[in-house]
Amino acid sequence: MSTKFIDAYLDGTITAPELQQLNALLLTDAKARREFAEILNVDSALAAMAAGWTKDEAPVVRQTKWRATTPRWMAAAASVALLLGGWWWQDSQSAFATVEKAAGVVEMADGSSLRGESHEIKAGSVALVTARGARIVIEAPAEFRFESAQRLHMKRGRLAADVPPAAKGFTVITPTGDAIDLGTRFGVDVPMSGAAEVHVFQGEVITKATGEKAKQSLRGGDAVTFDQGASTSRELRSSAFIQADEMSELTAGLAAGQRARAESALTNLKNDPALIALLDFESDEAQPGVFRRVQGRWPGSHAPEFVHVGDHLKLDVGGDRDWPQLTLAAWVRIDRLGAPYQSLLHTDGWSKNNPGQVHWMINRDTTMRLALIGNTLAPDANERDGHPDSRTAVLPEQGRWVHLATVYDSQTKTVRFYLNGQFDKETRQQVAHPARLGPAQIGNWNQQDRKLSGRVDELLLLGRAMSDNEIRALHAAGNPYR
Amino acid sequence: MSPTETERHHRFLRSFTAHEPAVRAHVRRLVPARADADDVMQEISVVLWEKFDSFRDGADFKAWAFGVARFEVLAWLRDRGRDRLVLDEEVITKIAEETTADEPRLEQQREALEHCMKKVPGDQRELLMQAYQPESRIHEVAQGSGRTVAGFYQWLHRMRKLLLECIRRALTQEVAS
């Protein structure tokens, strides 16, 4: 008799007089209160289960009758609950996501199912598809777990999500805030230390820093940092995230044995008598500077990442002599375009008293520049800005690892630019001083200037001019893509 | 963010994520509809974070959160319950007190649901999950199942009852064994 009112209350169809009766009953009858609490408890457990439920889950084995239970299942359920860290309601039959591609990830295999368990990947990147069709790429080092097909907890790591309408509402939960998708493409970066960031490439995302009362609506091009319970807007780093299309080429590169080729090429370079410096960032010795240490071109390899204004890496090499010839090369992944000058390598000094000091950078129009102080252009040189610049834009709109190289020769008085191993342009100089190095910064110049936004890997300084063929081979050997 | 601030966040999140399902279930027992529970939960999570400083390390987070939850539910009922058919404050307070004490058993019940759901035939189980989708419209789900709305509600009542019976049975056997 009491359940009739409880059911009506639950359905929202209870009338005022009925509610009065229910109130009276619950006030006086402890047994009715208990029944009431239990029904609502089941109701809430069903709702929690439904939140993680998806239509296309594995077919359920039909059972025709309700059998009596053995106590064993309780132990099993308890251990599952323990495994899930308290996410007890999830259906152990249904996968929240499937691994589409694991590139250099030893902890996961292609095609494996992810449920509510925690995952830690130390190296590589993994592409996942959720049960509702959202495509997620997560880059190591990362720790994460799905709470349901629609809720992903990211303790740390970097994620790019492409969310179709069917998965609208997909939510990424970080230690410092949440991002709720409204059918869109976005990225979330949870660094080892510091606040999480949300970057919206397309569409709309709702964000809420932990502890913040109001939610924020972000649109394509917007980005925020969750900082001390507030969302602070920041510039977009669209290319800081590996996306699904890049994943397949990275996987193919690994499968083709590119990494071994790159390593043997590095060994050869290290034996080059003209070598000034070769930074592969694999040494555990702390490099001086301010930057994040993140994954490089290969699973588990390292690269410095420059995120904030003033981030830099210090390098002091080759300062004891002049370099009549100099080859500069690096793999870079630039997060964003259009910043005024991005520093690839700037000698600290830039003084007429010390001609030949080197500034190697990306211009605001994304061409590459090599400027040596005191040098002048040949009269026939066609340059907009008084310095040798490359012709082709350094980066496509979609960020990827690109190989940049510049060969300087003070004897032939030429500066030659290369993009991804391809010769781009030669600029002739009238006055060409031998190059001078010494104390320099990568990613910045003198603290707060010429900010590079992105990662640098395998930076090479060679005291001779590499040929076109050598540059082509350098790119081919170090290319992570296929 | 300062290291202590980050650490505080982490401590909070660890506790909150661990107990969120229980707190949500607790709230659900005190408000008329699931959507109401979602509303109140948002408020509660904010309050818990704001008051986290006053939470003593080593104390029972769940009990503390239940206390905050009860207060927030009552505030919500006073604010928004005016035009709705909600239970008396006195009843709510009684249920909140009794279910707080009874929470270990209620939690076992929620855990046992998963086991009992496996006994529900696949198509019915799917229907049940459809009905409980966060934004489901009951009359559409009812129509899809070939039932009238009233008939569908009847079926829902029966399913909930069957599940509750299965759960009780499972827990009794556990105690007996």
Angle at CA of residue A247, ends A245 and A252, nearest 5°: 110
- A335 and A158 in contact (C-beta within 8 Å)? no
pLDDT at A282: 87
pLDDT at B82: 66
Confidence of residue A328 (pLDDT cuts 50, 70, 90): very high
Position A7 pLDDT exceeds 80: yes
Confidence of residue B16 (pLDDT cuts 50, 70, 90): confident
Angle at CA of residue B44, ends B1 and B50, nearest 5°: 35
pTM of the predicted model as reported, rounded to 2 decimal places: 0.62
Rounded average pLDDT over B121-148: 85
Dihedrals phi, psi of A453, to nearest 5 degrees:
-110, 105
| CB atoms A43 and B115 under 8 Å | no
Residue A151, token pair as written in the block: 């809720």
Burial class (CB in 10 A: 0-12, 13-18, 19+), A79: exposed
Closest CA to A10 of A49, A48, A36, A45: A36
- A393-437 pLDDT, tens digit per residue, is 887 655 689 999 999 999 999 999 999 999 999 999 999 999 999
User: What would you measure as the largest C-alpha separation in chain A, in angstroms?
Assistant: 101
Long-range contacts of A2-7 (CB under 8 A, 24+ apart): A2/A29, A2/A32, A2/A35, A2/A36, A3/A35, A3/A39, A3/B157, A3/B161, A6/A35, A6/A36, A6/A39, A7/B153, A7/B157
- Report the residue from B12, B34, B91 with minimal CB separation from A47: B34
- A183-216 pLDDT, tens digit per residue, is 789 999 999 888 899 999 998 898 988 878 778 8
Specify the DSSP class assigned to residue A83: H
- A441 and A346 in contact (C-beta within 8 Å)? yes
Distance from the Cα of A168 to chain B's closest Cα (Å) equals 12
| Spatial distance between the Cα atoms of A371 and A361, rounded to a whole number of angstroms | 9
| Spatial distance between the Cα atoms of A346 and A470, rounded to a whole number of angstroms | 24
Position B14 pLDDT exceeds 80: no
Position B105 pLDDT exceeds 60: yes
Q: Which amino acid is at B151?
A: G
Confidence of residue A85 (pLDDT cuts 50, 70, 90): very low
Confidence of residue A153 (pLDDT cuts 50, 70, 90): very high
**Which chain B residues are closer than 8 Å to A53 by Cβ?**
129, 132-133
| Spatial distance between the Cα atoms of A301 and A295, rounded to a whole number of angstroms | 6
| Spatial distance between the Cα atoms of B140 and B130, rounded to a whole number of angstroms | 10
Position A2 pLDDT exceeds 80: no
Pick the residue from chain A with its C-alpha nearest to B116: A66
B147 in contact with A at a CB cutoff of 8 Å? no
What is the predicted ipTM?
0.91
Position B173 pLDDT exceeds 80: no
Residue A185, token pair as written in the block: 């493409």
Q: For A62-76, A468-482, B95-109, B156-170, which range has the lowest pLDDT when averaged over its residues?
A: A62-76
Which A residues in the span 205-264 are in contact with B, Cβ-Cβ below 8 Å? 210-211, 213, 227-229
